[in-house]
Structure 1
Amino acid sequence: MNYSYPMDSGWSTEEIIDVIKFFEFVEKAYEGKVQKEQFMGSYRRFKQIVPGKADEKRITDEFQENSGYSAYLVIKKAKEMTTDGYISIKV
């Protein structure tokens, strides 16, 4: 990993850690697999920190620009799954 995570100066240390965990789950979905339940829990926490759609898009787009990994695709795949299981994005 040779990129940085998007941050907001208004976030607390705990919020920064939780946002980084969310992006780490996105990375795991691309680099292997991640359990849907864990990912969605992390995404729900991310949405508590970044509740606005515009801010979510800005932050996830910045992450994708830096990493090449689309949080949107992982979220979409997780929401489309009808059962618990593992999320894996194959490129």
Structure 2
Amino acid sequence: MNKDIRFPISMDWTKDEIVDVVNFFEIVDQVYSKGAERNTILTLYNYFKKVVPSKAEEKQHFKDYEEQTGQIPYEVIKKAKSSGESIIKV
């Protein structure tokens, strides 16, 4: 992952919430680079959704991340939810 990425986070979040969001975006990067386990992706997305329950806020964070990386978190989640494969790669 490019070290210059500014993860879309809020200063209102706790340290644990920031870790959950960063872990989710790191798994998105991993899916694009080498793939990741479907269950891990969905678990980290669930943690992300606890921090960012609003669909509008989620879309904004996804857009910010995509603009920096070219990686589309929505596609990762969509594929993980619909695929029967144990390893997801985009």
How does the TM-score come out when normalised to structure 1? Answer: 0.93
**Structure 2 Cα separation of the partners of residues 16 and 65 of structure 1:** 20
5+ residue gaps, structure 1, are: none
5+ residue gaps, structure 2, are: none
Partner of 1:88: 89
**Structure 2 Cα separation of the partners of residues 66 and 13 of structure 1:** 23
RMSD: 0.9
Q: 4+ residue stretches of structure 1 with deviation over 3 A?
A: none
Partner of 1:24: 26
Partner of 1:67: 69
Q: Percent identity?
A: 34
**Structure 2 Cα separation of the partners of residues 32 and 38 of structure 1:** 14
